[in-house]
Copies of this chain bind each other. A is one copy, B any other.
Amino acid sequence: MLAIERKNQILAKLIMDGKVLVSDLSREYGVTEETIRRDLEKLEKEGLAKKTYGGAVRVDNLNADIPFYVRKQTNVESKQYIASIIGSMINDGDYLMLDSSTTALYVIKHILHKKKITLITNSIEILLELSNKSGWTIISTGGTLKEGGLSLLGYQAERMISNFHVDMAICSCKGIDSANGITDSNEQDAEIKKAFFRNAKKRVLAVDSTKFDKSSFVKICDISDVDLIVTEKRPSDFWLENLKSANVELLYEPVPEE
């Protein structure tokens, strides 16, 4: 038996059982315990096992599996909070559009208990999250896979979006600024968001407070083009006034559910 084969089998056993014992493995493979320890040592170096006295245990680094998830998850609490507010506005039977943001994914997690949701998204993570969901209608925009990301972009996606009209579109952005409006860091993402907003009755922008007074390269739309902005804490008086005059609703606290 090849050394690597033994190592792989140990890994498989480790994954299945959660733990392995040096003594067992030594007997099972007919090698000395030192050899087993050296195998476990390698697995530990690869981040797949954690050695302990007498054996090793599994290390559950599901995050490490899908490299995409490694991206920096900034402001998780803010995004969760924003997502919970948005989630509380969604009702059974709603028709939604969601972009490919972390916040959108959190929104999904908050509304998993709702019935008969129909949604259109360009996020592959959302599709994955919902692959076991029954009773919903989940439509992917299709399009070109963004390099190094899990979102679908391009004119095919835009055209697909244009075929649908929904109650509410939920998008995020990179910056919101009174001079430049709502902006994103690249054209393709911005175009998708434009398309979402074009085809939704209610346009919801999810932005954590760090995005205020920032602007990025590509304009998505004017501030007055969105219907509702959801953030995680009370913006400055300037912004309250600004949004009010632009006739944009603002939420930074949970809404009482019906």
A-to-B contact residues, CB < 8 Å:
2-5, 8, 11-12, 15, 19, 21, 50, 52-55, 57, 60, 62-68, 124, 127-128, 130-132, 134, 137-145, 147-150, 152, 154, 156-157, 160, 163
Sampled A-B contacts (23; CB under 8 Å): A2-B19, A3-B52, A4-B53, A4-B57, A5-B19, A5-B57, A8-B57, A15-B64, A62-B68, A65-B67, A67-B131, A68-B132, A124-B128, A124-B131, A127-B150, A128-B150, A131-B150, A132-B148, A139-B145, A140-B140, A140-B142, A142-B143, A156-B160
How far does the alpha carbon of A203 sit from the alpha carbon of B201 in the complex, in Å? 43
Which of B53, B132, B142 is within 8 Å of A141, CB to CB? B142
Taking CB atoms, residues of chain B closer than 8 Å to A53 are 2-4
Contact A131 B149 (CB under 8 A): yes
A28 nearest CB across to chain B (Å)? 17
In the bound complex, residues from chain B placing their C-beta under 8 Å from that of A128 are 66, 124, 128, 150
Given contacts A142-B160, A160-B142, A163-B156, contact A67 B19 (CB under 8 A): no
Are B156 and A145 within 8 A (Cβ)?
no
A240 CB to nearest B CB, Å: 36
Q: For the complex, what is the distance from the CA of A65 to the CA of B63, rounded to whole Å?
A: 12
Alpha-carbon separation in the docked complex, A55 to B12 (Å): 20
As for how many copies of this chain the complex holds, the number is 2
Q: Are A148 and B131 in contact (CB under 8 A)?
A: yes
Instruction: Name A2's contact: one of B54, B141, B160 (CB within 8 Å).
Output: B54
Q: Is the CB of B160 within 8 A of A145?
A: no
Bound-complex Cα distance A132 to B146 (A): 9
Name, among A11, A15, A127, A142, the residue most crowded by chain B CB atoms within 10 Å (CB to CB). A142
Cα-based distance from A8 to B141 in the complex (angstroms): 36
Known: A19-B2, A53-B3, A142-B152. A147 touches B134 (CB 8 A): yes
- Asked if B132 and A67 sit within 8 Å, CB to CB, the answer is yes
Shortest Cβ-Cβ A-B pairs, 10 listed = A142-B142, A138-B145, A4-B52, A140-B142, A142-B160, A140-B152, A141-B142, A131-B150, A2-B54, A139-B144
